[in-house]
Structure formats: C-alpha cells, structure tokens
DNA sequence: TAGATTGTTAATCGATTAACAATC
DNA sequence: TAGATTGTTAATCGATTAACAATC
C-alpha cells in the first residue's frame, strides 16, 4: 500500500504466505503469531513481521494475526480478488499441459484461447478450447480483454510472438521459452527457464559419485 | 573450485552465462570483454568479473575473455561435462510434457524411466519409454544409477513420493508440485512453483484497467 | 611502449535479523 | 494488571557496484 517501493524479494515471498495461510484455514486454526508461522513457513519471525508491515499492520500486539483476516489481506495484495483472461501461444507439449491445468482457473486465471502456427494443430480441441491460428492472436487479445499470455513456443519463435503480443497491448507475459525477451519495461514478464533450473541441480551434483 | 563458498545468487546466474556464450559461439565471436558482455547479458561488467573470478581467472588483461574457453569453463562449472540419469514421477500432463522435451537430453539429462500409480497410465509409452508402476521406483533408482527425479505428481502425493525417493538414495529432486517438500538437507531440491510465478504477475496487474 | 581490460580491494547499497518500546 | 506479541527502529550481514593497480 502507499507509495513506498516493495522489493522483489518480498513480492516473491507473498505466494508462500498465501499457501501456508490456506493450509492453516484448512486446519481450522484461527490465530497465529509470527513466531509460530516462522516455524512452519521457514522465514524468521522478524522477516514475517517486516514483510507484512510493508502492506499494513495486520496483527495485534499480544495476540498475533487472525489467520482468516491475514489470508484475505494477502489475497488482496497478490491480486486474487479478481480474475484475469489468459491465452497460450504454442500448443506443443508444454502448452497443452498448461491448458489442461485446472488449478490456474481456480486462482482466477481464465484460459480464453490457445494459438499455434502449425496447421496440423490448428483446429484441434484442448480442454474444450479450439486451437486458433496465431495469425489471429492480435485481434483476439483486443476483443477478449486478454491480459496475460503464456509463451510456450520454441526458443526461435518466442521473440516474434512477443512482438505481436506487445503490439496487441498485452499486459503480462509468462515466458517458458529459453530466451530473454526484449519487451518494453512497462510490460510484466515472468520467465520460467526450465533448463536454467536443471543446471542448478547439475552444478551441485557434478562432483558426486 | 577451492573451498570458498559460492553464493546462490552467483550460481543462479551461471546458466545465463552459458546461454549467452553459446550464442556468441554461434555468431562466431572469438573474444569478448566484460563490458561488451555486460551490454548483451544485462549484468554489470563489474558483476561479470566478480562472478567469473569466483571460479578462476579466465580472462586476460587488455584482451578480455576468449569466448570458447570461457564457454567450456562454464560448462565444467555447471556440470555439463557429464551426463545424469533422471526419472519422472507422475505421468500426467506435465510429466508427459517433460518426457517429450528433447532439449534436456541435449544437455546430458537422460530420461531413464517414467512412473505413475494410476493403473490406467502404467504400461503406456511416452517418448519410447514405458510408464512403470511407482511401486517399483525404489528398485529402479538403485539399479539404474538415477540421480535426479522430477516430481510431477499432485500436491497431495508429492511428499509421500519424495520420502520413497530419499529412501532409494536419490541425490536431487526437481519438484513441480506446489508444496515445500521436507527432505534431508544433503539432497538438492529445486522447486518450480508455477502458481507462485503466476501470482507475481497478478500482483503487478491487479490495479490495471 | 601505450592502451585496454582484467583481477581484486574498497565503498555502497539493500535485505535480513535483532532489539525493544508500544500496546493489546 | 501482567504477559505476549506486534510494529518499527537500529545493527548486521551479504551482494552489488565502483575504483584502480597490475599486466597483457
């Protein structure tokens, strides 16, 4: 809240708060102190209090935090009190897997369209959505209030697709292609570079055995 | 190299060096200075020199870095000079998508087996590999020198699977289930929490429109 | 040799942790 | 009221950036 800049480190922790608070609600736990939360979530109590106080004073001295209230506050902060229209570009293995993921919908990310350039794939139906020729993506974004695009194309096709998305006025890109996209900085980009992730594992494993 | 501890921040940047150096080789560029690399990779020249010097003095004053040599050094550091046997647990959408990813193999991550508990899935073939009943995973790991397991099960099944993997002596886990696994700390874990990633997008989008 | 650029030390910046007065 | 725990300031820690002597 207000104008003071929240650091990316804090923002990246928010989903974890959300996840653990949901669990506490499931377990019917009504209140929790930063110390108790610290023990299950793995952040220090101090960090938890600092993090939360970036957004407001949600706790009460001598009592702690009301689990349900805090959960709802976190939902508001993360932006889970409204829905987002999304599309997938690239109906390969990964694109199809994401299209079939039902949990995104539960969080309010509604898949509106799937696009591909391959004529063999255009027209097939994935999770009740027909794959459309990517030629039509610009028009589709404008007509359907699409805010987020998941790029699931090959490495080589990704930048070209991104350019079209930007032209069409996309607001955020979730990029699964192993490239760093050149995108105007007002557009939000999250990269999932799977290979990079794997290489972290090999880094630590290389000298084993 | 040597005993001084490399920070996670540095390790997480290594794959990006690897990627950009591969590109430079493709473009037949023979040498590069930290300043030039800085301009394309987006880290400061100072950071590049600091990062690389954690592992050795790969450059030459007045000249810069030999691209191919540096690329090979980075490969060694990341652990790409040998191969790793991997398995996938959970042959759902994501598991199947990962099984069909050919690029992991190119980096030396060889998929040896795919496991599932669903009798309807056991026996089908994905990318020439037959899905095996997860009951047999422990034995399989021991007999096939499996070092890395990709957990692609549901949230609820993940911890149980992880326990079996640990018993079987797995060395690293790539976890796609939206849980924080409880795992002995000597086992390397990389999490890909897709939902967490999406929530970063919604955080920034929530007040748009 | 002169110019360029590294390797490395020092300075700065930012994030985490500790401490404690405020207060429920 | 007394005890507990927050909100918040101060101290510490770690990572990034700047600076420059060493040297190719």
* C17 C1' to A47 CA distance, Å: 8
Closest residue in B to A91 (Cα–Cα): B97
CB of B53 within 7 Å of some strand C atom: yes
Q: Which residues neighbour A61 within 8 Å (Cβ) at sequence distance 6 or greater? A: none
Q: Please state, in angstroms and rounded to a whole number, the distance separating the CA atoms of residues B125 and B118.
A: 14
As a whole number, mean pLDDT of residues A105-131 equals: 97
How far CA A37 is from CA of A31, A49, B31, B179, in Å, comes to 10, 10, 51, 16
* D24 C1' to B61 CA distance, Å: 5
CATH code of domain B8-78: 1.10.10.10
**Tokens 């047999």 sit at which residue?**
B136
Chain B partners within 8 Å of A200 (Cβ) = 11-12, 15, 190
CB contact under 8 A, A188 and B197: no
List the single protein residue with the shortest CA to C1' distance from C16.
Answer: A47
* C17 C1' to B5 CA distance, Å: 21
What is the tally of helices (H) and strands (E) in chain B?
9, 10
CB contact under 8 A, B205 and A147: yes
Closest residue in B to A191 (Cα–Cα): B197
Q: Where in chain B is the domain with CATH 1.10.10.10?
A: 8-78
Give chain A residues 14-43 with Cβ within 7 A of strand C.
43
Note the pLDDT of residue B187: 97
CB contact under 8 A, A200 and B12: yes
* Helices B8-26 and B67-78, packing angle to 10 deg: 140
Q: Which residues neighbour A34 within 8 Å (Cβ) at sequence distance 6 or greater? A: A45, A46, A48, A49, A59, A64, A65
Asked if pLDDT for residue A92 goes beyond 80, the answer is yes
CB of B18 within 7 Å of some strand C atom: no
Task: Report whether A169 belongs to an annotated binding site.
Answer: no
Q: Which residues neighbour B46 within 8 Å (Cβ) at sequence distance 6 or greater? A: B34
As a whole number, mean pLDDT of residues A164-181 equals: 98
As a whole number, mean pLDDT of residues A35-54 equals: 98
As a whole number, mean pLDDT of residues A75-101 equals: 97
Note the pLDDT of residue A209: 72
Residue B175 per-residue DSSP state: E
Q: Which residues neighbour B7 within 8 Å (Cβ) at sequence distance 6 or greater? A: none
pLDDT digits (tens, 9 = 90+) for B58-103: 999 999 999 999 999 999 999 999 999 999 999 999 999 999 999 9
> Are A89 and A150 a contacting pair, CB within 8 Å?
yes
Q: Which fold has domain A8-77?
A: Arc Repressor Mutant, subunit A (1.10.10)
Q: Where in chain B is the domain with CATH 3.40.50.720?
A: 84-197
As a whole number, mean pLDDT of residues A100-122 equals: 97
Note the pLDDT of residue B79: 98
CB of A53 within 7 Å of some strand C atom: no
List the single protein residue with the shortest CA to C1' distance from C18.
Answer: A46
Asked if pLDDT for residue A2 goes beyond 80, the answer is no
Per-residue H/E/C for chain A: CCCCCCCHHHHHHHHHHHHHHHHHHHCCCCEECHHHHHHHHCCCHHHHHHHHHCCCCCCECCCEEEHHHHHHHHHHHHCCCCCEEEEEECCCHHHHHHHHCCHHHHCCEEEEEEEECCCCCCCCEECCEEEEEHHHHHHHHHHCCCCEEEECCCHHHHHHHHHHHHHCCCCEEEECCCCCCCCCCCCEEEECCHHHHHHHHHHHHCCCC
List the single protein residue with the shortest CA to C1' distance from C15.
Answer: A9
Q: Is B156 on the interface with A (CB under 8 A)?
A: no
CB of A63 within 7 Å of some strand C atom: yes
pLDDT band at B208 (very low <50, low <70, confident <90, very high): confident
Asked if pLDDT for residue A184 goes beyond 50, the answer is yes
Q: Which of B6, B71, B76, B93 to probe by mutation at the A interface, max A CB count within 10 Å?
A: B93
Query: Exposed, middle or buried, B31 (CB in 10 Å: 0-12/13-18/19+)?
Result: middle
3-state secondary structure of B207: coil
Count of CB pairs separated by less than 8 Å, A with B: 162
Closest residue in A to B85 (Cα–Cα): A202
- What is the pairing mode between strands B109-116 and B84-89? parallel
CB of B9 within 7 Å of some strand D atom: yes
Chain B partners within 8 Å of A14 (Cβ) = 199, 203
pLDDT band at B1 (very low <50, low <70, confident <90, very high): very low
Could you give phi then psi for residue B31, rounded to 5 degrees? -135, 155
3-state secondary structure of B25: helix
Asked if pLDDT for residue B3 goes beyond 80, the answer is no
Mean pLDDT of chain B: 96
pLDDT digits (tens, 9 = 90+) for B135-151: 999 999 999 999 999 99
CB of A10 within 7 Å of some strand C atom: yes
Asked if pLDDT for residue B22 goes beyond 80, the answer is yes
Q: Please state, in angstroms and rounded to a whole number, the distance separating the CA atoms of residues B209 and B206.
A: 8
Q: Which residues neighbour B104 within 8 Å (Cβ) at sequence distance 6 or greater? A: A195, A198, B86, B98, B111
CB contact under 8 A, A12 and B96: no
Q: Is A84 on the interface with B (CB under 8 A)?
A: yes
> Are A151 and A162 a contacting pair, CB within 8 Å?
yes
Instruction: Indicate the class that CATH gives domain A84-197.
Output: alpha beta
As a whole number, mean pLDDT of residues B30-36 equals: 98
In this structure, what is the dihedral angle of CA atoms A202, B172, A179, A86, given to the nearest 10 degrees? 180
Q: Is A2 on the interface with B (CB under 8 A)?
A: no
Q: Please state, in angstroms and rounded to a whole number, the distance separating the CA atoms of residues A193 and A2.
A: 33
3-state secondary structure of B102: coil
Is the CA virtual torsion B184, A192, B161, A205 positive or negative? negative
CB of B66 within 7 Å of some strand D atom: no
> Are B152 and B89 a contacting pair, CB within 8 Å?
yes
As a whole number, mean pLDDT of residues A174-178 equals: 98
Strand C bases with any atom < 7 A from protein Cβ: 2-9, 14-19, 22-24
Q: Which residues neighbour B204 within 8 Å (Cβ) at sequence distance 6 or greater? A: A79, A172, A188
């Amino acid at each position: 809240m207000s104008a003071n800049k929240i650091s990316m480190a804090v923002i990246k922790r928010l989903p974890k708060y959300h996840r653990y608070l949901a669990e506490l609600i499931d377990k019917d736990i009504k209140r929790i102190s930063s110390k108790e939360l610290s023990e299950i979530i793995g952040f220090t109590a101090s960090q938890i209090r600092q993090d939360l106080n970036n957004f407001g004073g949600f706790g009460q001295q001598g009592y702690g935090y009301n689990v349900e209230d805090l959960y709802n506050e976190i939902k508001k902060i993360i932006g889970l009190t409204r829905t987002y229209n999304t599309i997938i570009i690239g109906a390969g293995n990964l694109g199809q897997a994401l299209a079939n993921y039902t949990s995104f919908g539960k969080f309010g990310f509604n898949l509106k369209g799937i696009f591909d350039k391959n004529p063999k794939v255009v027209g097939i139906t994935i999770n009740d959505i027909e794959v459309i020729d990517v030629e039509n993506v610009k028009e589709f974004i404008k007509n359907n209030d699409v805010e987020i695009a998941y790029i699931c194309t090959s490495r080589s096709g990704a930048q070209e697709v991104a350019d079209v998305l930007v032209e069409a006025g996309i607001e955020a890109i979730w990029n699964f292609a192993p490239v760093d996209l050149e995108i105007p900085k007002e557009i939000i980009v999250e990269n999932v570079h799977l290979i990079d992730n794997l290489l972290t594992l090999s880094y630590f494993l290389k000298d084993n055995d």
